[in-house]
A = this chain, B = another copy of it.
Amino acid sequence: MARFIVEVMLKPEILDPQGAAIAAALPRLGFAGLTSVRQGKRFEIEIEGPATAEKIAEIESAAELLLANLVIENFVVRVDE
């Protein structure tokens, strides 16, 4: 069994209203000194068998097709050791 982590974040130039809301709320709750908060998604995907190069490429295709919107988001695939 292998486990992949797919991290999907809005591109830096795209406005992130959720992140902005958190960045505005934290100082009101007593947390100072923040310069930026960005919110994204994280997927844990488990597959049968080992994490071969072919399987990594498959997960990257799946991320492009279903998990990320490449117009506004970037993604990273990592093998979870």
Chain A: residues with CB nearer than 8 A to chain B?
Answer: 1, 7-9, 19, 22, 25-26, 29, 31, 33-49, 55, 58, 61-62, 65-67
B44–A40 CB distance below 8 A: yes
A33–B47 CB distance below 8 A: yes
Do A1 and B35 contact each other (CB < 8 Å), given the known contacts A19-B43, A62-B29?
A: yes
A67–B34 CB distance below 8 A: no
B33–A48 CB distance below 8 A: yes
Which residue of chain B has its CB nearest to the CB of A19?
Answer: B43
Which residue of chain B has its CB nearest to the CB of A23?
Answer: B45
A65–B29 CB distance below 8 A: yes
A47–B19 CB distance below 8 A: no
